[in-house]
Structure 1
Amino acid sequence: MRGTPPESAPGWHVFHGTGALPDGGPVPLPEAPPWRRFRGEPVLTPPEDDEEATRRRLGQVEPVSQLDATSIEMVNAALLLRRPLLLTGPPGVGKSTLAFLVAREMGLGRVLVWSIVSRTNLRDGLYAYDALGRAQAIAAWRAAGPDSPGTDGVERGADGQPLPSLGDFITLGPLGTALLPYERPRVLLIDELDKSDLDLPNDLLHVLENGSYEVPELVRDSHDSMAVHTSDPDRRASVRNGRVECREFPVVVITSNGEREFPAAFRRRCLPLEMTTPSREKLLAIVSNHFRSLPPDAEPLVDLFLERVRSGGTHSLDQLFNAVQLTTAGGLRDDGSSRRLLEMLLRDLSTGR
């Protein structure tokens, strides 16, 4: 689905919150500020969008804005300044969905997702090294027979197989993959950072500021370049001298449910955006996108959902989608049993009632 940008939008607004490609194709991003330019090589082409994953998040997007003016302006500021966007707000208001909205509308390909838990550390996001797997592979290679040099200078075993490459046992994580030197920025979703260990936000500062990192195992290796696995299925990338530097700083969307505060130094490097429950008009547009058209009984369910939200507690858009789906499928009748089911579907998630 393609759309047309609003005529009233400022010239630096390249994102309009529709999730639909403009009629002329992906819009070029504004030039990065001098202090946010990077020179990573070799330049890579981003993979195509994972359409199934995007459709699960966004539905069949119609070219109408799903965000308010403040949210659209802040996203555009993040795109212009090449700074991470820190989204706060209650669970279920569509914070993580924003990353998919940006990726689809800007034509930036598959979204990289880094889901945070209490045990997550910086290295989990950058890369993983399977040292045990490599040791076992080398042992099996040596067991095949005595070593013999190949005519191409590559060390080979008696069966002609080359020594297992170090790069075969290194996989870049979502953050590490996003910082590869792509010709257009990747979209990275760091989901629920407030669940992390206290040190992770501070550990992220250096990487997000410099747009680069090193893989020590590759730095110590004698090869100038090594192909490693990435977080994209069946894709590899070449890392030179063990160092990765981006070409275009990724579009980083960080979500938080407000379970704790982040250090001032971290917040200073992000652009803040507090998201709230969408308006009735936006909710109807979102429901229409997910169901490809607005179901007949959707409006009263949207009104009931908004009534619950205004009464306090925690509610999620998924609850509304579930209620609409059951109604559309004929699963809810006008009787006491169906009303109780509807009450359970739209219950306050913080209390379970």
Structure 2
Amino acid sequence: MSASGRPDADVPDERAQPDPHGWRVFHATGRVPGEPGPRLPEAPPWRRFRGAPPQPSPPDDEEAALRRLGSGDVMPQLGEDEIDAVNAALLLRRPLLVTGPPGIGKSTLAYLISRELGLKRVLEWNIVSRTTLRDGLHIHDAMGRAQAIAAWQAGLREAASAATAGGSGEGEIGAQDVMVGQTPPLLGDFITIGPLGTALLPYDRPRVLLIDELDKSDIDLPNDLLHVLENGSYDIPELVRDAADTALVHTSDPGGRAVVAGGRVECSEFPVVVITSNGEREFPAAFRRRCLPLEMPTPTREQLLAIVEGHLGAPPRGTEQLVDLFVQQVQAGGTHSLDQLLNAVQLTTAGGFQAEGGGRKLLEMLLRDLAKGR
């Protein structure tokens, strides 16, 4: 304390409290940041990767984000615990395993993270019972390449025959001349990197990958993912065996191409991986150990109203009654989706439709219990 009674500048004020949320980079606001977006803290030493060569910035896809999130600024469904779980996954560079009933917005979380952090287009890998790890990594069109090589060889033979028939005198084009400059089809033209493989390319900022409904997969897929998610890399065998040092391949982005060196894909920033599950089965402990869990809560009445406002603007007349009906059905143990509520609200705002009287039956159909199979 100075002689004037004022606190010394060098003495910290014990009354000042640190911001308990100061460590967060994600706040669930849904607001679009300025370029290039907030930067994540440095990854832990055991989650740093050295992928190369660096790839150009991915494309944006704001239309897909609008379909998923609407145009509102706030995503009210996430509470403090859920926001902390997302931030922990971002800082630790670990996949986020999002569970909860169908239709409550689990996959929407990937789009919310991408929009708020300015991470551009979300890569989607939709899982079915026949999905294999290779589907997510890369596809080699071996048949297409074989046909292209056959066509190339046939073209060379025809050109050589025409050149030979034309004579081999001075100034004439010979068969050997035809061969010069005629390159075979490039291997990279027949390789397409899947959503998981594209997410692992060495971008300056992490890509967002949505692995949707992993619980629908074959029992082996979660275990097959372990090595890739742990190492942030994988090899493309066809390119490893190829004589060329690099290859230009297709990616999962529309019209996207990427350079792969030595047949190996390795990230420089581990992607933001959002894995969703409807809880149809349990995952192996080794897989769960590599993910951070997040149980997505069922939206409250206030959250539902805010979600409707985010998609449709100011809540139209009758919205609160529809939301109340939706909440009652969910609380009664029914299985319902947010899409059903949005459809019902949209329909009641369409010109001329009346929910009362004959329209009541159509409204009940829209808000039916999905667990009953009809």
Q: 1:24/1:96 Cα in 2 relative to 1: closer, same or farther (>3 Å)?
A: same
Unaligned runs of 5+ in 1: 1-6, 149-154
Give the Cα–Cα distance (whole angstroms) in 1 for the partners of residues 273 and 75 of structure 2: 24
Verify the 8 A CA contact 1:228 1:239 in the aligned structure 2.
Answer: yes
- Aligned-partner residue type, residue 66 of structure 2: R
The within-5 A match list for 1:35-184 is 35-63=46-74, 65-146=76-157, 158=179, 160-184=181-205
Aligned match for 1:315, one of 333, 336, 344? 336
Give the secondary-structure state (helix, strand or coil) at the position aligned to 2:370: coil
- Aligned CA distance change for structure 1 residues 143 and 9 (closer, same or farther; 3 Å): farther
Task: Find the residue that maps to 1:14 and give its secondary structure.
Answer: coil
Say whether the 8 Å CA contact 1:87–1:273 is kept in structure 2. yes
Moved more, 39-48 or 239-248: 39-48
Q: Distance in 1 between matches of 2:257 and 2:241?
A: 20
Q: After TM superposition, give the deviation of residue 157 of structure 1 in Å.
A: 6.3
Deviates more, 1:306-315 or 1:290-299: 290-299
Q: How far does residue 296 in structure 1 lie from its aligned partner after superposition?
A: 2.3
Structure-2 residue corresponding to 1:346: 367
The match for 1:269 among 290, 293, 307 is: 290
Measured in 2, the distance between the counterparts of 1:234 and 1:289 equals: 31
* Distance in 2 (alpha carbons) for counterparts of 1:156 and 1:219: 32
3-state SS, counterpart of residue 135 of structure 1: helix
Show CA shifts across 1:173-221 (max 9, x none). Answer: 0000000000000000000000000000000000000000000000000
Matches within 5 A, 1:282-293: 282-293=303-314
> Can you list the C-alpha shifts for 1:43-96, whole angstroms capped at 9, x where unaligned?
123323211111111110224644211111110110000000001111000000
Whether the 8 Å contact between 2:348 and 2:355 is mirrored in structure 1 is no
Distance in 1 of aligned mates of 2:90 and 2:76: 18
Counterpart residue type for residue 358 of structure 2: S
306-315 or 8-17, which moves further after superposition? 8-17
Q: Distance in 1 between matches of 2:41 and 2:178?
A: 52
Larger radius of gyration, structure 1 or 2?
2
- Name the CA shift for 1:130/1:45 in 2 (closer, same or farther; >3 Å): same
Cα distance between partner residues in 2 of 1:165 and 1:215: 15
Off by >3 Å, runs of 4+ in structure 1: 22-25, 63-66, 155-161
Of all paired residues, the percent bearing the same amino acid is 69
Whole-Å Cα distance in 2 between the matches of residues 127 and 313 of structure 1?
40
Match of 1:253? Answer: 274
- TM-score, normalising length from structure 1? 0.92
The letter of the residue matching 2:32 is L
CA distance in 1, matches of 2:234, 2:309: 43
C-alpha displacement of 1:26: 1.3
Aligned residues: 341
Question: Which residue identity does 2:92 align to in structure 1?
Answer: L
- My pick for the range that moved more, 268-277 or 159-168, is 159-168
- The 3 A distance-change label for structure 1 pair 260 and 252 is same
TM-score by length of 2: 0.87
- 1:255 is paired with a residue of what secondary structure? strand
More displaced stretch, 307-316 vs 334-343: 334-343
Distance between the aligned counterparts of 1:343 and 1:30, measured in 2?
49
1:204 to 221, 225, 236: 225
1:27 partner letter: P
